[in-house]
Chain A
Amino acid sequence: MTFSPAARIALRVLMALGLAVIYVPLLVVLVNSVNADKTFGWPPPGFTGRWWAQALDNEGARQAVLTSVKAGLGATATALVLGTMAAFAVSRHRFFGRETVSLVVVLPIALPGIVTGIALSNAFQVVLKPLGIGLGLFTVIVGHATFCVVTIYNNVLARLRRTGTRLEEASADLGADTFQTFWYVTFPALRSALLAGGLLAFALSFDEIIVTTFTAGPGATTLPIWIFNNLFRPNQAPVVNVLAAALIVLSVIPIYLAQRLSSGARSPV
């Protein structure tokens, strides 16, 4: 479509404005993490590294990061297994209710987080409490894994549909059994899809707060919960801001990896 010069300029300006709106708040957090003024006066009267040192020293924050990493790893590992199994079932078999599997997998992320949160919390109280398992890291992992399955499922399913079964049939013809074929042929073809899905699952889990609020007992404070608990304490504001800035800086890593993976995925596997 040929846009008039005026329309082009208008769209370009809107794009620039939109990007500015997207990035200015993040920049403000980054600048405030070195803002010498404790109440984030603007413009900053000076710059300091004090808040970063304080945040590194903060025991609660360090524990929260550790808890979040554990929960993220646990949920990602569980989701990797469940998502891959479901993707194999749907892509390689025909069975009654096949279409429904996709719906059930998507549901935990399509429904508002608070619904998933109270449903799981209620189920844990009823089923796990009599068994002596209270709310804690374990229940957080169960909750997170539930909504992380979809990322692995989608990635693996797309990859399985694209690669087809020819290579596996060739492997079987050459005498490999089911497990050997999986290990030497199917799994290597899936690796980057698993990595991409796993990355997304970990990021989802690391960021999640609503389901976590309902499934974490007082013992399991993940980073988002810690930040939220300290958000309204003026004393902790600089430390909270540093953590926020650190998360923004760290988010460059998954962006870079995801980009590498998706550009690598376009080349033949």
Chain B
Amino acid sequence: MTAPASTGGADARPAPGPRRRAAALLHRRPRLRLSLLLSAPLAWLVVVYLGALAAIFLTAFWTTDVFTGEVVRQFTLANFRTLLDEPVYRTVALRSLGVAVAVTLIDTAIGFPMALYMAKVARPRYRPYLLIAILAPLWAAYLVKAYAWRVMLQQGGLLDQVLEPFGLSSPGYGLTATVLVLAYLWLPYMILPVYTGLERLPDSLLDASGDLGARPLRTFRTVMLPLVFPSLVAGSIFTFSLSLGDYITVKIVGGRRQLLGNVVYDNIGAANNLPFAAAVATIPVVVMLGYLAAARRTGALREL
């Protein structure tokens, strides 16, 4: 520490070192401090990241020369016209949306009762442990979980064996498997915000509803559901967005049913058509921005 030890006047202090002077300068000028603090993060996130995003969406309006494979830097809407005109892309886009919606509905149906049990039925003592049990699988790798399902779904695998007595069999690799595995992967993202929302909901409100003569189902519909709805929407942002851009799960268990992510991936790799890939990639971004804007009106963004 270089704090002055003498009790003399300011003149008796030793001349401050460069570090001390820099500190004094920063202390006197909060704007300088602020610009230094913001410089690196903004340079990284705005210049590198937002710059890269802007560049890729600009690329969506270019085309690739069929013969040379070079990108032709000329403004055109050709890529977007192809997206709209070719029925195959419409099918894939609708299928991706359908998968995202299905995953969100499944996760709501499974996640809500679980969150309700954790927040309102389980003894408070056990709640933290249940929470850990739900969150723990998030630390296990994404790939590992998708892989686990690949093994279970295979012919003669665990699912076949379990379902056989009921006269059913594993759905095999395909769209059903994709929805199933995505719902499995994103389930904790739905449970967590809903649990938080339900836990915050005072029991007295629900009791009051009951005291005023409402049946449990009515209390659920008219008191509980409206109050936790923003939390549900917050959870759905994750399940929806994460499903919309996925292509790895499709490759692992999806068979030949492609989603938007696969179209993007294939156009970058095999087809070497970056402009078209960029155009396809705008679909999930636009859908997500619309979804976020709608979610904002319910107050869900504050629940994230």
Contact = CB atoms under 8 A, between A and B. Distances in A.
Interface of A: 1-4, 7-8, 10-12, 14-15, 18-19, 21-26, 28-29, 32, 40-42, 81-83, 85-86, 88-89, 93, 95, 101, 104-105, 107-108, 110-116, 118-123, 126, 142, 145-146, 149, 172, 174-180, 203, 206-207, 209-210, 213-214, 224, 227-228, 231, 240-241, 244, 247-248, 251, 254-255, 259
B117 A176 contact: no
B148 A244 contact: yes
B245 A26 contact: no
Contact of A142 (B48, B120, B150, B203): B48
B3 A82 contact: no
A108 B49 contact: yes
Contacts of A22: 133-134, 137, 184, 187-188
Contacts of A259: 132
A26 B145 contact: yes
Nearest to A22: B137
Contact of B44 (A23, A32, A82): A82
A132 B210 CA distance: 71
B52 to A, nearest CB: 4
Contacts of B219: 1
7 contacts: A22-B187, A25-B184, A110-B288, A115-B285, A145-B44, A175-B4, A210-B247
Contacts of A248: 140, 144
Contact of A176 (B3, B40, B116, B152): B3
For chain B, what secondary structure do more than half of its interface residues adopt (helix, strand, loop), or is it mixed? helix
B158 A177 contact: no
A19 B145 contact: no
A93 B30 contact: yes
Given A42-B161, A82-B44, A119 B55 contact: yes
Interface residues of B, number: 96
Contacts of A32: 151
Contact of A244 (B26, B27, B147, B247): B147
A105 B292 CA distance: 16
Contacts of B184: 21-22, 25
B161 to A, nearest CB: 6
Contacts of A213: 265
Nearest to A214: B268
A43 to B, nearest CB: 8
